[in-house]
Amino acid sequence: MSVPPAGTALAGGTHGPRALRPLLDTVLDALTTGAEDRAGPLPPGGPDTVARAVRDACHPLLPDHGTGAHAALRTLVHTLAAGAADPADPHCAAHLHCPPLALATAADLAAAALNPSLDSWDQAPAASTLETLTSRALAALVYPQAAEPDALITTGGTESNQLALLLAREAIPAPGRPHTGPLQIVCGANAHHSIHRSAWLLGLPEPLTLPTPNGILAPDTVHTCLANLTGHTGPVLLTATAGTTNSGAIDPLTDLADLADHHGARFHIDAAYGGALLFSDTHHTALTGLARAHTVALDLHKLGWQPVAAGLLAVPDPSALAALTHQADYLNADDDTEAGLPDLLHRSLRTTRRPDILKIAVTLKALGRRGLGELIDRTLAAAQTLADLIEDHPRYELHSRPTLSTVLFRPIGADDTTLATIRRTLLTDGQAVLGRATTPTGLWLKATLLNPHTQTGDLTTLLKLVEGHIPR
Ligand SMILES: *Cc1c(COP(=O)(O)O)cnc(C)c1O
């Protein structure tokens, strides 16, 4: 086979790596020069400036005659890097937007080059086995007592929550308790927005949303709600959060599991943010009760340092996934399955599906549970340090001690408009990326720390940057 020029060479086979290597040099150089040009957590100038730079670099986006591989990679990768919000910068701390590990990113390149698709064995012979083994190992962390725990690999908490609600909707009723009404979801006001959206998508009634004035579900509020649902003729799903998006708080999981048991409700825990504490010897006890849920959502593209996407939905037993059984003759024909070809179609609602498992498996193997646990411990310690600095600072108030790695704070006496302006000014100056959270005590600035290498000096500087914008 003759070797095609760089622009049309393929990534696979024995020639693929040879075609990739010089292209990667161009990509890595462009990532470097882009980050140098940006020189901060975010490009300065705001949306119009960034959009103009991208428009100029792209134009013309679909030329009659292309520029060739290196020029296109150089221009667009440089432009994207120069215009990126880079979570590897310790002052980029707005969202659950993690800096990916270099090793996971390298593994993801291999996933792209090989391009297995996890909807049938004949597109992913080794990748499907790797997915089976890795998802079982992760599910065993969530359900250590279960004989055969399993997990679906998802695009993140949103898809995991959606699948959890679907599995609850499709669950077979207990003998003697036939359901005539629809599934009723009960959640807290602290629940992720995807719970409501999934209910809408699945044609379920609006979730009963209980107040969470302290940021977490109160067991007596949940008890009262479940007790008052006796007239409801359908199943009930209680959903809790382990690591809320606003403040990183963890609902009282054991109490809620007891209440779900007592009232015959199903129980789902959205641990998209906090679930990775399972890796930590220091912090895993914060998740006591997790294994009592019928389904658990967990994201490794938050505390887990994976490039997007790396989500999981864990279940204690593969039979919990029976509702997802589906057949398409060209992907999982009965005779193929009988002849021993693994049937993969029930592992997702997607069809073509990338091997996100490779980067996860590489990370688990390279760092081990301890190595990942240490990254988690360091990240949570950085949040405690930031909280200490805020408490000791005369011009700031702290919302509450952090549970995970989210710290809410504000300048003393700042009203909501001032706070919102400070956040946007830092953003448009490209100095710092902070989030915002509305709580019963008003608006707060939110620092979501996900960079395990953040130093105390970075946090001191961050507070100085904010202080520079407090009106006198
Ligand atoms: C991030 C998050 C989600 C959504 O997950 P995606 O990966 O963004 O789809 C859901 N729930 C919680 C608690 C989260 O933190």
Q: Are residues 80 and 124 in the same domain?
A: no
Dihedral sign computed on CA atoms, order 300, 310, 210, 420: positive
The candidate with the shortest Cα–Cα distance to 320, out of 166, 452, 98, 125, is: 166
Q: Does 272 sit in the ligand 1 pocket, CB within 6 Å?
A: yes
Q: Are residues 456 and 321 in the same domain?
A: no
Distance, CA 23 to ligand 1 centroid (Å)? Answer: 34
What is the number of the ligand 1 atom nearest to the C-alpha of 191?
13
In this structure, what are the phi and psi dihedrals at residue 407, rounded to the nearest 5 degrees? -125, 120
pLDDT of residue 344: 93
Distance, CA 308 to ligand 1 centroid (Å)? Answer: 12
Span 298-347, pLDDT tens digits: 999 999 999 999 999 999 999 999 999 999 999 999 999 999 999 999 99
Whole-angstrom Cα distance, residue 423 to residue 433? 8
Mean pLDDT across the chain: 96
Residue type, 467: E
Identify which has the larger pLDDT, 4 or 382: 382
Q: Are residues 193 and 339 in the same domain?
A: yes
User: Is 217 within the bounds of a domain?
Assistant: yes
Q: Are residues 437 and 342 in the same domain?
A: no
Span 243-290, pLDDT tens digits: 999 999 999 999 999 999 999 999 999 999 999 999 999 999 999 999
Q: Does 160 sit in the ligand 1 pocket, CB within 6 Å?
A: no
> Under DSSP, is residue 225 helix (H, G, I), strand (E, B) or coil?
helix
Q: Are residues 336 and 459 in the same domain?
A: no
In this structure, what are the phi and psi dihedrals at residue 347, rounded to the nearest 5 degrees? -85, 0
160-181 average pLDDT score: 89
User: Is 48 within the bounds of a domain?
Assistant: yes
pLDDT of residue 196: 98
pLDDT of residue 472: 80
295 with 242: CB under 8 angstroms? no
Distance, CA 398 to ligand 1 centroid (Å)? Answer: 24
What is the number of the ligand 1 atom nearest to the C-alpha of 245?
15
Q: Which of 335, 365, 395 is the last residue of a domain?
A: 365
Q: Are residues 372 and 261 in the same domain?
A: no
pLDDT of residue 1: 52
Q: Are residues 292 and 399 in the same domain?
A: no
Q: Closest Cα to atom 10, ligand 1: which residue?
A: 157
Span 71-95, pLDDT tens digits: 999 999 999 999 999 999 999 999 9
CA distances in angstroms from 431 to 32, 90, 100, 224, 467, listed in the order given: 19, 11, 21, 47, 12
Q: Are residues 130 and 274 in the same domain?
A: yes
**Ligand 1 site-directed mutation target among 270, 290, 313, most atoms within 8 Å of CB:** 270
User: Is 210 within the bounds of a domain?
Assistant: yes
Distance, CA 33 to ligand 1 centroid (Å)? Answer: 32
283 with 290: CB under 8 angstroms? no
Distance, CA 272 to ligand 1 centroid (Å)? Answer: 5
User: Is 405 within the bounds of a domain?
Assistant: yes
Q: Where does residue 361 rank: exposed (0-12), middle (13-18), buried (19+ CB within 10 A)?
A: buried
7-36 average pLDDT score: 97
Distance, CA 301 to ligand 1 centroid (Å)? Answer: 10
Q: Which domain holds residue 457?
A: 368-467
Q: Are residues 203 and 286 in the same domain?
A: yes
User: Is 227 within the bounds of a domain?
Assistant: yes
Q: Which of 350, 365, 380 is the last residue of a domain?
A: 365
Q: Does 96 sit in the ligand 1 pocket, CB within 6 Å?
A: yes
pLDDT of residue 2: 60
Q: Closest Cα to atom 7, ligand 1: which residue?
A: 156
Q: Are residues 131 and 202 in the same domain?
A: yes
What is the number of the ligand 1 atom nearest to the C-alpha of 194?
10
What is the number of the ligand 1 atom nearest to the C-alpha of 299?
7
Distance, CA 351 to ligand 1 centroid (Å)? Answer: 22
Q: Which of 38, 68, 84 is the last residue of a domain?
A: 84
> What's the whole-model pTM score?
0.97
13: its two tokens? 């086979």
Distance, CA 67 to ligand 1 centroid (Å)? Answer: 39
Indicate which CATH number applies to the domain containing 435. Answer: 3.90.1150.10
pLDDT of 3 over the 70 cut: no
Q: Closest Cα to atom 5, ligand 1: which residue?
A: 157
Q: Does 268 sit in the ligand 1 pocket, CB within 6 Å?
A: no
pLDDT of residue 173: 82
Indicate which CATH number applies to the domain containing 257. Answer: 3.40.640.10
Distance, CA 27 to ligand 1 centroid (Å)? Answer: 30
What is the number of the ligand 1 atom nearest to the C-alpha of 271?
13
In this structure, what are the phi and psi dihedrals at residue 80, rounded to the nearest 5 degrees? -70, -40
Angle at 295 between CA 242 and CA 145, to 5 degrees: 95
Q: Are residues 353 and 429 in the same domain?
A: no
Distance, CA 302 to ligand 1 centroid (Å)? Answer: 9
Distance, CA 406 to ligand 1 centroid (Å)? Answer: 14
User: Is 97 within the bounds of a domain?
Assistant: no
pLDDT bracket for residue 4 (50, 70, 90): low
pLDDT of 172 over the 90 cut: no
Q: What are the DSSP E strand ranges found in 316-441?
A: 396-398, 406-411, 433-439
Q: Are residues 301 and 185 in the same domain?
A: yes
235: its two tokens? 């199943």
Q: Does 458 sit in the ligand 1 pocket, CB within 6 Å?
A: no
149-170 average pLDDT score: 98
What is the number of the ligand 1 atom nearest to the C-alpha of 311?
7
User: Is 259 within the bounds of a domain?
Assistant: yes
pLDDT of 180 over the 70 cut: yes
Q: Does 241 sit in the ligand 1 pocket, CB within 6 Å?
A: yes
Q: Does 157 sit in the ligand 1 pocket, CB within 6 Å?
A: yes
User: Is 206 within the bounds of a domain?
Assistant: yes
For the chain, the domain total comes to: 3
Span 111-136, pLDDT tens digits: 999 999 999 999 999 999 999 999 99
Distance, CA 127 to ligand 1 centroid (Å)? Answer: 25
